[in-house]
Amino acid sequence: MENELVGKYTMPGIGFGTLGNVGDAGSTLVEAALAEGYRYIDTSRYYGNEEAVGSALARSSVPRGDVWVTTKLLHPRTPPQPDLAFELEKSLRLLRTDYVDLLLIHWPNPEVSLEWALGAGPRNANRQPEAWSGLGPCVTICLDSPEL
């Protein structure tokens, strides 16, 4: 599968979505996707399968560094997540990895404009400084990078 250049980063052009794939069956499916050549795995806290994805990553013969992992936080149907650094650490534990390649806001609150939701991040930390405090360096690099 071909890779795509995004700024100075390279990521797989086609990913494997994991919505609806939980537990042992989800883990087996993700492991099979990796064996078939997928190198981009998309998960989310809302999907309830970060643990299954983490199990597949741990069992797979594909080195973690060869797999692009995206996860997401802040879905409007999940409880509030005021401490994103804590939530990211929880996702990392479930995924059995010490990093994700891409962390997304799953779905900004539909009652709040996208502009406001993005403005609440590091570029305008005075709005919700506690939410972004532990993510500052990585999020700021991603949001402010002229290469992206």
Question: Does 47 participate in catalysis according to the annotation?
Answer: yes
Which candidate in 38, 40, 46, 47 is catalytic? Answer: 47
For tokens 């997401």, name the residue: 72
For tokens 């013969």, name the residue: 61
For tokens 């479930």, name the residue: 94
- DSSP letter, residue 27: H
Hey, which residues does 70 pair with through a beta bridge? 42, 102
**Encoded amino acid at 79, one letter:** P
Annotated catalytic residues are: 47
